[in-house]
Amino acid sequence: MDAHKRPKKKITSFQMIILGFLVVIALGALLLMLPVSSRQDGAMPFLDALFTSTSAVCVTGLVLHDTATTWSRFGQIVILLLIQIGGMGVITVAAAFALISGRKISLMQRSTMQEAISAPKVGGIVRLTSFIIKATLLIELLGAAAMAPVFCRDFGAKGLWMAVFHSVSAFCNAGFDLMGVRGEFSSLTSYAAQPVINVTIMLLIIVGGIGFLTWDDIRSHHLHVHQYRMQSKVILCATSILLLLPALYFYFLEFDELPQKERILSALFQAVTPRTAGFNTVELTQLREAGQYITIARMLIGGSPGSTAGGMKTTTVAVLLSSAVSTFRREECPHFFKRRIDDDVVKNAATILMLYLMLFFFGGLIISIAEEIPMLTALFEAASAVGTVGLTLGVTPGLGTLSKLILIVLMFFGRVGGLTLIFAALSGKQKNGAKYPREKVTVG
């Protein structure tokens, strides 16, 4: 067949998602390079603008320059828009504009929307997307309204902007803050004992990280948990455990020098923020090594599928644990709530775990060698990037070019997802139906 007669390859849903993120990151970097975006003279260097744009779109929160003191109001607005697009998802935001303009959503677009929010089926995807958009804006508005009195008391009229910025950043699990006016890279440490800010930020992080499908179950079935999808039940159980156990550790073993009220708030906040949020109310360098390792593990796990959070996802860890338990019990297959888990799901979970561990370890190794810093510090940075968290032990601003590029790649992988990249790369390749002979391999 002649070359000009060959059918053109269609862009798959996975490729569309990746392309969308890349385009938004590139546009964000160009906008942040404009002189009007920064408070300094001249344009921001391209690599620094690209790093900031990637961190915002991938809702990570790692920064090379303090957001409040480096970026102008225009630059901060650009960063906030990038966070909103990255948190809701590029495809979801594009669908929002299509719905507002009254355009009809094609089957291909519906399929892409389904992949973008990890929905189980295409049917009802437009209705679900509309619900996500409305709920997101409402929750962010409520969060801003709750924090506005505190910020307005401390910063005057500027407090309204700070309330909106931190509400969107918290709900999208981004971790960007404007507290640099009280000390560069200080995050929320000046509000460690302030209950309204602590509780509001924590609730926004949790709600944003449990996933859009879980919201839909809660909206549809209220407190009738037995009617929820199995995935929603798994997410709520895993989230509860991953919040409770670290909170108990931090309360009893880390913050014993703090007053009781601040100790409770700090323990709860430190249990919540590694869900890929990136805010902190205590100096992370003061944590014990055990506390830093627990934080690394939490950062790698991240939030839940179809949410604003990144990481391996709570369901990935839950599926692997269920698989291990079923093996110990000599059961045929893993299960949750009297429902079996497909073998393909277990394989995908194992693949995701290996991908994240490889990116985490090799990323940390390269950064440690390149920057000549302790391995734990470098691994913390790598986990923060690939988990799209944004927490740091203070080394991010001083990193060299190679380390910045490594973190950019890790942030992108962490937000888009390893399987999405693999499926996008392998799309269109024909499967070989032949099977090799079977032979046993002993493991363990």
CA distance 368 to 363: 9
- pLDDT tens, residue by residue, 295-343: 999 999 988 887 878 888 899 999 999 999 998 888 888 888 888 888 8
The pLDDT, as a whole number, for residue 263 is 94
Whole domain around residue 94: which residue ranges?
11-418
Could you tell me the two tokens for 312?
């391996």
Question: Is 150 inside a domain boundary?
Answer: yes
Least confident of 163-172, 218-227, 270-279, 431-440: 431-440
Q: Cα separations (Å) of 393 from 66, 188, 266, 295?
A: 15, 15, 17, 11
**pLDDT score of 122 more than 70:** no
Which amino acid belongs to residue 354?
Answer: M
- Mean pLDDT (the chain, rounded): 86
The pLDDT, as a whole number, for residue 128 is 77
The pLDDT, as a whole number, for residue 246 is 94
CA distance 249 to 290: 10
- pLDDT tens, residue by residue, 35-52: 999 988 778 999 999 999
Dihedral angle at the C-alpha atoms of 138, 144, 145, 147, nearest 10 degrees? 150
Question: Is 149 inside a domain boundary?
Answer: yes
Least confident of 117-131, 290-304, 417-431: 417-431
Instruction: Say which residues have a Cβ less than 8 Å from residue 68's Cβ, sequence separation at least 6.
Output: 76, 177, 178, 179, 180, 181
Classify 71 as helix, strand or coil.
strand
Side-chain-facing half-sphere of 409: CA atoms under 13 Å: 14
Model confidence at 75, pLDDT cuts 50, 70, 90, reads very high
For residues 93-121, average pLDDT:
66
Model confidence at 423, pLDDT cuts 50, 70, 90, reads low
Model confidence at 74, pLDDT cuts 50, 70, 90, reads very high
Question: Is 423 inside a domain boundary?
Answer: no
The pLDDT, as a whole number, for residue 380 is 96
Model confidence at 126, pLDDT cuts 50, 70, 90, reads confident
Count Cβ atoms below 10 Å from residue 358 Cβ, excluding itself: 12
CA distance 314 to 302: 7
The pLDDT, as a whole number, for residue 120 is 63
Whether residue 37 contacts residue 78, with contact meaning beta carbons closer than 8 Å, is answered with yes
The pLDDT, as a whole number, for residue 1 is 46
Question: Is 360 inside a domain boundary?
Answer: yes
Least confident of 67-76, 136-145, 208-217: 208-217
Q: How many structural domains does the chain have? A: 1
Question: Is 117 inside a domain boundary?
Answer: yes
Please, where are the H alpha helices in 273-374? 289-301, 314-328, 343-371
Question: Is 429 inside a domain boundary?
Answer: no
**pLDDT score of 113 more than 80:** no
- Considering only residues 439 and 431, tell me which one the structure prediction assigns the higher pLDDT: 439
- pLDDT tens, residue by residue, 251-296: 999 988 889 999 999 999 999 999 888 899 998 888 999 999 999 9
